[in-house]
Structure 1
């Protein structure tokens, strides 16, 4: 497939690019600063673009089978970036007629797992309070997706870890795995790539965790 990856210099974005190339896909990695992106490959194109400009982004998404986004705030001071940039991305996709879009969000934005214990609920409440601005940004991003004409999927992991790919994790379409607390960025990327051709995930949030 021909894929475009947004946020390709981030931890999840780099994993999406790496795994997509290993699977034999043609990949366009969209970056603001190519000097920060050191990955190479015969099937890889590095595309420099300002993600606040839908017109500038259009060549990077035109003719692609799917676009995958690892965009999001890296700290509380960046809150707002996910929704703002997603609006630009949606404008470029809809202009170019590209429908499939898979993005990363976060577990607290989706529904609470059924049957979770007191500890999990307490921890979730504390984290949601501390990172409320980031999660508000992600909720607005998901609302923008829901209003769009794209065939979107939102992948919602819990706390992220920098660990190797396992390919073994739980996944709940429209919900979240009970007791799920962690997931490696590599496995988030794996879940996002796996969602591209899974029609059950279209216009759905997908909870993923170990």
Structure 2
């Protein structure tokens, strides 16, 4: 399969790229800076913004016809000045929602309906299943802005004609949170799926980005959880 990727230069997005290419798929990634991704066989890199439909169209048509994306995987997230949950939020308040809406519109124009979006536990009906300490943490820190934007994605994508899947990950686990270039290899395992509401989540629930990537690709290629949201955890 050939994939359109938004968010491929992020820590989880890079794992998705590796997972797709290792399985023999190809991908086109729309990134703001070409140098943010290492060129690899099977990967086409296009510079642009997901806030621009024209840039997304440029990515969709970047490969020679008749090769066009058959699905999209979005791993975008909001950006703060640092990893601190109290750091200043950067970018527009609807960055995720508008980027996803643009992608859906362009893909529908191109006749592509499959889209898998990385979301977060706490969105929609999973909020009430979060431990109270997690809810308090999200509410009192600037993480609340990302949660709000993911919530807008959740609401709006359901209004489209896309065959969508919203993957609500619990806390993401990295091997090196300070330097993504030093992220160590992780034995990839199957994640646990906890329904749309994430019943059974705990304060210590987490999921490694390598496992998230594997699940995103599996769902996209096997058409799992179509028009569903699902919480995942290690």
TM-score, normalisation: structure 1: 0.89
1:196 aligns with 2:196: no
Partner of 2:96 in structure 1? 82
1:34 aligns with 2:23: no
Determine helix, strand or coil for the equivalent of 1:168.
coil
Determine helix, strand or coil for the equivalent of 2:198.
coil
CA distance in 2, matches of 1:99, 1:165: 32
Q: Where in structure 2 are the equivalents of 1:110-129 lying within 5 Å?
A: 110-112=124-126, 121-129=131-139
CA distance in 2, matches of 1:197, 1:19: 12
Q: In the TM superposition, what whole-angstrom CA distance separates every residue of 1:152-188 from its partner, at most 9, and x where no partner exists?
A: 1010111111142422320134332513511111111
CA distance in 2, matches of 1:6, 1:165: 25
Taking a change above 3 Å as real, the CA distance of residues 65 and 30 of structure 1, as seen in their structure-2 partners, is same
Q: Where in structure 2 are the equivalents of 1:1-210 lying within 5 Å?
A: 1-38=1-38, 40-61=39-60, 63-75=68-80, 77-78=89-90, 79-112=93-126, 121-129=131-139, 130=141, 131-163=143-175, 164-176=186-198, 178-180=200-202, 181-210=205-234
CA distance in 1, matches of 2:136, 2:30: 34
Taking a change above 3 Å as real, the CA distance of residues 179 and 4 of structure 1, as seen in their structure-2 partners, is same
Determine helix, strand or coil for the equivalent of 1:111.
helix
Retained in 1: the 8 A contact 2:126–2:196? no
Q: In the TM superposition, what whole-angstrom CA distance separates every residue of 1:125-160 from its partner, at most 9, and x where no partner exists?
A: 113302222211111011111111110101011111
> Quick check: which one's helix share is greater?
1
Determine helix, strand or coil for the equivalent of 1:123.
helix
Partner of 2:65 in structure 1? none
Identify unmatched segments of 5+ residues in structure 1: none
Runs of 4+ in 1 over 6 A off after TM superposition: none
Identify unmatched segments of 5+ residues in structure 2: 62-67, 81-87, 176-185
Retained in 1: the 8 A contact 2:25–2:42? yes
Retained in 1: the 8 A contact 2:116–2:164? yes
CA distance in 1, matches of 2:16, 2:56: 19
TM-score, normalisation: structure 2: 0.80
Number of aligned positions between the proteins: 205
Determine helix, strand or coil for the equivalent of 1:104.
strand
CA distance in 1, matches of 2:35, 2:121: 32
CA distance in 1, matches of 2:124, 2:188: 24
Q: In the TM superposition, what whole-angstrom CA distance separates every residue of 1:107-133 from its partner, at most 9, and x where no partner exists?
A: 01143499x6xxx62222113302222
Q: In the TM superposition, what whole-angstrom CA distance separates every residue of 1:56-85 from its partner, at most 9, and x where no partner exists?
A: 211423521110001120336134311121
What root-mean-square deviation, in Å, do the aligned CA atoms of Structure 1 and Structure 2 show? 2.0
